[in-house]
Amino acid sequence: MPQKDKITVALAQLKPIWLNREKTIAKVVHYTNQAAEKKADLVVFGEAFVPGYPFWLERTGGAAFNNDIQKTIHAHYLDQAVRITEGDLDAVCAICKKGRIATILGTIELAKDRGNHSVYCSLVYIDKNGIIANVHRKLMPTYEERLSWAMGDGHGLRTQQLGAFTVGALNCWENWMPLARAALYAQGENLHVAIWPGAYRNTEDLTRFIAKESRSYVISVSGLLHADDISPEIPYYDLIADNSEGFLANGGSCLAAPDGSWIIEPVVEKEALLLAEIDHAVVRAERQNFDPSGHYSRPDVLQLSLNRKRQSVLDITG
């Protein structure tokens, strides 16, 4: 059957219930259902949305070695992390199946296949059948994130089919990595999704640049967090709150067309469910003069090697 050229996408710029997995997942389910009721084909949430970004690190001396404060908060983070193999995302899968909507969700994943004591910044793709089709672990945590998150691998550098579109996605500053982008372009990506913890400074330029470079639609979805949203139930609440003010993450969610023009300009400092219809025919038109992995590539001169094996310290045979 021919795939439909036009689909509707929803950008869910929201505040997590910070460092509370169950309450944040309930919010994901609520807004996924809202997007489905508005006939969206895809809804996207920010990076590390469940249970939240490790904003405490730069506010509590996160680099202090063997520090009781950091150990206690980190242990709480692991307690609230997403255990995909244990069914923590079952409610999200169920609403995707019921609403016939795909979801891209940023999580902090407690990875059972890596010993079950380290967390990864994992981007999860759930399809319209409610199936977890892909889990991409962030290749390289950025700056202070390395004090909390382990490094991922290439296993999740995959694309998914949604209508006529081929969807790929990256976490935050992975979107600055030319080879990571090229790996998705080469798999036919024409709807690129970039998820962020929330910063207008990141999305205002890069979203339009990737659109122009790839001749694809580009969605950037950011989270939000204000100092007033920090819960007293979090370990060392007073210390974190005393060193926080205003917006810790100010949003910046937006959508660019394949020619780099804005469809949705960056939205800051407010929660919103933003919807737009996109048309694959526009992609085909823009690829007429530049196709980065097609007629404008030179594989006889330049090639990229991608290792998609899920990495582990244990290889059991027999």
In 10 A of CB 116, how many CB atoms? 12
Residue span of the structural domain in which 261 resides: 6-286
pLDDT (0 to 100) of residue 95: 98
> Is residue 307 one of the residues assigned to a domain?
no
Q: Tell me if 56 sits within 8 A of 243, measured CB to CB.
A: no
> Is residue 308 one of the residues assigned to a domain?
no
> Is residue 250 one of the residues assigned to a domain?
yes
pTM score, two decimals? 0.96
> Is residue 313 one of the residues assigned to a domain?
no
Dihedral angle over CA of 22, 52, 115, 126, nearest 10:
70
Judged by DSSP in three states, 92 sits in helix
Please name the amino acid found at residue 181: R
User: How many domains does the chain fold into?
Assistant: 1
> Is residue 67 one of the residues assigned to a domain?
yes
> Is residue 299 one of the residues assigned to a domain?
no
CATH number of the domain that residue 120 is part of: 3.60.110.10
Sorted by sequence, the CB contacts under 8 Å of residue 151 that are 6+ apart come out as 137, 138, 139, 140, 141
In 10 A of CB 289, how many CB atoms? 9
Q: With a cut of 70, which residues of the chain have pLDDT below it?
A: 1-2
Token code pair at residue 37: 């009721």
pLDDT (0 to 100) of residue 2: 61
If residue 22 lies in a helix (H) or strand (E), which one and from where to where?
helix 21-37
pLDDT (0 to 100) of residue 315: 85
> Is residue 295 one of the residues assigned to a domain?
no
pLDDT (0 to 100) of residue 318: 81
Phi-psi region of 49 (alpha: psi -120 to 50; beta: other; left: phi over 0): alpha
Q: Tens digit of pLDDT for each residue in 224-233?
A: 999 999 999 9
Q: Tens digit of pLDDT for each residue in 154-170?
A: 999 999 999 999 999 99
> Is residue 58 one of the residues assigned to a domain?
yes
Distance CA(137)–CA(153), nearest Å, equals: 6
pLDDT (0 to 100) of residue 198: 92
